[in-house]
Amino acid sequence: MPSERLKVVVTRRLPEAVETRMKELFNVTLREDDHLMSREELIAAMKDADVLVPTLTDTLDSAVISAAGDRLKLIANYGAGVDHIDVHTARQRGILVSNTPGVVTEDTADMTMALILAVTRRIPEGLALMQSGEWEGWAPTALLGGRVGGRRLGILGMGRIGQAVARRARAFGMQVHYHNRRRLRPEVEESLEASYWESLDQMVARMDIISINCPHTPATFHLMNARRLKLMKPNAVIVNTSRGEVIDENALTRMLRAGEIAGAGLDVFEHGHQINPRLRQQNNVVLLPHMGSATIEGRLEMGEKVLLNVKTFADGHRPPDLVVPAML
C-alpha cells in the first residue's frame, strides 16, 4: 500500500511536531479541536481510514470494530495500554493493532515517586495553606509527615515501570518488595535489591506503601478489592499510576474516610474522569488528572513510535510494535 495514498485518521490533537510529520508522510485527517469522538464519529472515521490513530480515551470495543467496515487495516494506538481496544475482534477482522511500549516508563516512575512523597510528606496540604495566606510561620508540630527512608514499598507489577520505581525507591533508602505474575530473574532481583512475595495478601499486609504498576486486564480488575485493602496497615498508603480499575475505588474511599488507610495518591481512576466525590473531600488523598506520562519528551516519543509503526505498515512490513496474541 503506497504511503502517499494511505489514509490516516487521528482521533485527538497530538503535539504539533507529530501532526506536521504525519501531514508530510500520509493523507491524514487531523482534529481541529480536542473533544472526544462519539461512538458514531469513531465508526465513521474507521470506515474512512486505512489506519486509525486512537488514544486511551477512545473505546474501541467489539461492536465499534465490527462496524468499521473493510477498509481499516491498522489501529496504531497512541499509547502503551490497549485495554480500551478489543484486540481479539480486531485480529479476527484482519485489523492489526500496534502501540507505543516503553516510552512512558521513566516519566510514570517519576510521578509514582512524586505521589509517594506528596502523600507521606503532606505536600498538598502545605501548598493549600500557603495559597490561602493563612500560614503564620513554622511550628514544631505542624504538618508532620513521615520519612520515606526505611519504609517498606510493595510494588504490584514488576514490569518496566515497576522496576523503574524500584530503582528510584532504593535511591530514597526504601526497602523494595514486589509481587508479580512471574518472579524476576535472580540477577534482576539482586540489582534492584528487591524481595519477591508469592502471596499478594501477605505482601499487602506488611507494607508501608503499596504502588500499583500492573496493567488492567480481566485478571487484575479490582485486584485491590475491599478484602485486600483491609489487609493494609492503618498507617499505610497506596499509590496508583497504572489503571484505576485495579482498585475498588468505592471501597478505598470508605476506608480512607474511616481512617483504616492512612492515605492515597491517585493519578488514575476506576471510572475515568468521573471520580467519587467523597474521594475529593479527603485531606489524606492526592488526586492528579492522569498526568503520569505527561512530559513533552514522552508525548513526542509516543508520536515517533506511532509514525514508525504506520510508515512500516505503509511500506508493506510488520509494524515493530505490533500487539500479538501472546500479549493479550
Task: Give yes or no: residues 178 and 300 share one domain.
Answer: no
Among left, alpha and beta (phi > 0; psi -120 to 50; other), residue 102 is left
d(CA 84, CA 195): 33
- pLDDT confidence of residue 5: 73
What separation in angstroms does the CA of 156 have from each of 15, 24, 141, 297, 312? 32, 42, 34, 26, 35
Where do we find the cell 477498509?
71
d(CA 210, CA 139): 30
The domain of 257 spans 105-287
Task: Give yes or no: residues 265 and 128 share one domain.
Answer: yes
Contacts of residue 251, defined as CB under 8 A and 6 or more positions apart, other chains included, come to 225, 226, 229
Amino acid identity, position 113: M
- pLDDT confidence of residue 324: 79
Number of domains in the chain: 2
Task: Give yes or no: residues 133 and 85 share one domain.
Answer: no
Task: Give yes or no: residues 211 and 281 share one domain.
Answer: yes
What pTM did the predictor assign?
A: 0.90
d(CA 223, CA 45): 35
Rg (CA), the chain: 22
Reading the block at residue 121, the C-alpha cell is: 510528606
H/E segment holding residue 100: none
Q: Are 52 and 76 in contact (CB under 8 A)?
A: yes
Task: Give yes or no: residues 8 and 125 share one domain.
Answer: no
Task: Give yes or no: residues 99 and 116 share one domain.
Answer: no
Task: Give yes or no: residues 95 and 63 share one domain.
Answer: yes
- pLDDT confidence of residue 3: 41
**8-state DSSP, 322:** B
Contacts of residue 134, defined as CB under 8 A and 6 or more positions apart, other chains included, come to none
Task: Give yes or no: residues 216 and 142 share one domain.
Answer: yes
Task: Give yes or no: residues 206 and 230 share one domain.
Answer: yes
Task: Give yes or no: residues 225 and 322 share one domain.
Answer: no
Q: Are 207 and 235 in contact (CB under 8 A)?
A: no
Task: Give yes or no: residues 57 and 93 share one domain.
Answer: yes
- pLDDT confidence of residue 69: 87
**8-state DSSP, 247:** B
Task: Give yes or no: residues 281 and 195 share one domain.
Answer: yes
Average confidence (pLDDT) per 10 residues, the chain, 328 residues: 73 96 95 93 95 96 93 96 93 96 95 98 96 96 96 97 98 98 97 98 98 93 98 98 96 96 97 91 94 96 98 96 68
Backbone angles phi, psi at 298, to 5 degrees: -65, -45
Domain edge (last residue) among 256, 271, 287:
287
CATH of the domain at 127: 3.40.50.720
